[in-house]
Amino acid sequence: MCAEMEKYTLIVTEKPDAAQRIASALNEKGKAEKKEDNGVPYYVAKRDKEIVVVPALGHLYTVAEERKGRNYYPVFNFRWVPRYAAERGAKQIRTWIETISKLANDADMFVDACDYDIEGSVIGYCILKYACGNKENVSKRMKYSTLTKEELEKSYAELRPHLDFALIEAGGTRHEVDWLYGVNLSRALTISARNWSGKYATLSTGRVQGPTLKFLVSREKSIRSFVPTPYWEIKAEVEINGSVFEAEYEKQKIEIKIEADTILNACKRKNGQVEKIDVKRFKQNPPVPFDLGTLQSEAYGLFGYTPRRTSFIAQRLYLDALISYPRTSSQKLPPEINYKAILKKLSRVPKYKKLAKELLRKPELKPREGKKKDPAHPAIYPTGKLPERDLDDSEKKVLDLVVRRFMAVFSEPATKQTMKVCINVNEHHFYLRGRQTLKEGWLRFYKPYLRSEEVLLPPIEEGQTIRVKKVISEDKFTKPPPRYNPGSLLRKMEETEIGTKATRANIIQTLHNRKYVREERMVVTNLGFEVLEVLEKYCPPVVSIKLTSELEERMDKIQAKREKRENVLVDTVEILKPAVQELKEKEKIIGKQLSNAIKRARLEERIIGTCPVCGTGKLIILYSRKTGKRFIGCTNYFKGKCETSFPLPQKGSVRPLGKNCRGCGWPTVQVRIKGKRPWMLCFNPDCPLKKERRKKIEMRNMQ
């Protein structure tokens, strides 16, 4: 922009979508003018004074070591640098920073409008300090929770006089502590393995990643060491008014077979008598509003979306001004968001019309709230705004979930009734259980997402004789504890207070990326076991869950001005110094252990399952020496015992699914080609499902 231009206000935002919305909201005549400088977009809004809104691309600055190079550790001296100076593939960041610096030259007022949370505050601070020439102390701050025109105008009219420095210091410290952990421990692991094997493989761990892996390894050990024990479950099929019901025996698990047989014999050909009927009514309160963690858990349970995917979807809905800021830990909905106005907007949507109008008729709108608070943002809520573009299926589902949850929290409790009927069969007691909703209350608002079933029992009276059709005994075995899935691991991280609402989903994804775990129900790989074993053996403090949550607490105290950044950094270095020294001294032993683990992990990745032809070999992804093409072959081929092989697609990536085909029971693989949806491939040429599909195609062609 030319030097003769009048001075203007420069607003910096976190992302281009937010910049466009803010500029258009502040422009007196609708949509703001879009401009570009060297490929970097920015927006000009006309008001009493011109406003230029320029976006970042998330973090433009990062922490890096003062001395260049990646092949050494320990590293304790750091500084904040532009990302292009520290990361490969971040060249675009240079152009972005240069454009922001150029725009800052002609500005006489600066406003930070990045997301009002730890990450957003650090992003805005770094831009104003480094790209804008030390403007962090004169800049003002916009605080908003939705990107609606009304809220953005209000936020600009009520600018905060300065940046949120306590939040910035807490955020900056978190980045620095995480960097110190990550760079030292990850380099120690990676360099040890590379020096031993001569081959490079990225290994990583960190302040949160290590303790999270520890949860998974602990659970995996419990599963692998679990010895199933037999038990027997007894049930009775009873007939009441022509309908058959299943009654459970008073003792849920019978651990001795003779006892089970004795009960069966005692109840054979005997009728039962209703001894007691217990009817209980209770109120089921509405759910509390969504914070990010509960939204991620609910979306995983309902739709199978990983926490990371839900976070991305919610962020898109927020940038489209359809929901409030999603990275919140609050379960509170303050009256300032104007419940009535949101419900009026929702009533314009046909599927919400009836429900929204019902709430609007209430004399008072009072949400049921949870305990969790967030000083920056309220719980997640819909703005009531209609989408300006076609949403994809996942966006529609998450938006509908947020809308229905929002309406449900204002509704009445549901009234439910349980009925427990005790049936005496020759002095052995069986129980029939019924569940019924008497008054739906909030359940009507949340109906598509309810997972409980009604069990209606016919009229029954005490003393009534009941016909017992048969008594059956089922042989069962105790089961090991379940493996963590992304939803349950996220809840575990929240409970133990490790990681933050913004980072937990990425930590879970990193464990998959590093091949420490595989599959959705997380199975720890040999590599995951070995990495944790190294850390626990040589530097146990770095995987201490207690120590990690204490560090989180101290960083929260920085935000509350009850702790100093310098103290936290000094203590972090004191923990890391002896840990990294120990890793360095044992580098050769560790290198050998990790190199062998990497080798096994690479082989593990290629194993698809047991060969269905010979039954003793393993099917594995192989590459032809002659053609370089990949195919599936049996490991018994190398022993001269089995010649089974199958072709594979040559494009895209292929990985074992760990699941068997429901049609033929053969192991399966997932094929993923860029730009296409991944699909499951069963390579059995005689699979009945394939034959069915071929028949359907032939039928369609004939028509």
Q: Which residues contact 355 (CB under 8 A, 6 or more apart)?
A: 407, 444, 445
Number of helices (H), then strands (E), in the chain: 20, 23
The residue type at 635: T
Residue among 497, 490, 498, 413 nearest 206 (CA):
498
Told to judge if 325 belongs to the known catalytic residues of this protein, a careful annotator would answer: yes
SS3 content of the chain, % helix, strand, coil (to 5): 40, 20, 35
Distances (CA, A) of 298 to 89, 284, 302, 440, 500: 35, 18, 6, 21, 18
Instruction: List 561's β-bridge partners, or say none.
Output: none
**CB 294 within 8 Å of CB 408:** no
Q: Tell me whether residue 481 is exposed, middle or buried, using C-beta atoms within 10 angstroms of its C-beta: 0 to 12, 13 to 18, 19 or more.
A: exposed
| Marked catalytic residue, from 249, 325, 352, 538 | 325
Residue among 545, 541, 535 nearest 572 (CA):
541
Residue among 212, 202, 215, 206 nearest 185 (CA):
206
- State how far the Cα of 276 lies from the Cα of 269, in Å rounded to an integer: 22
- Determine if residue 597 is left, alpha or beta; phi over 0 gives left, psi from -120 to 50 gives alpha, anything else beta: alpha
Q: Which residues contact 635 (CB under 8 A, 6 or more apart)?
A: 611, 617, 618, 619, 620
- State how far the Cα of 421 lies from the Cα of 278, in Å rounded to an integer: 6
- State how far the Cα of 171 lies from the Cα of 674, in Å rounded to an integer: 36
- State how far the Cα of 228 lies from the Cα of 230, in Å rounded to an integer: 7
635: which DSSP letter? G
- State how far the Cα of 373 lies from the Cα of 333, in Å rounded to an integer: 10
**CB 326 within 8 Å of CB 311:** yes
Residue among 446, 425, 421 nearest 434 (CA):
421
- State how far the Cα of 205 lies from the Cα of 543, in Å rounded to an integer: 9
Active-site residue list: 325
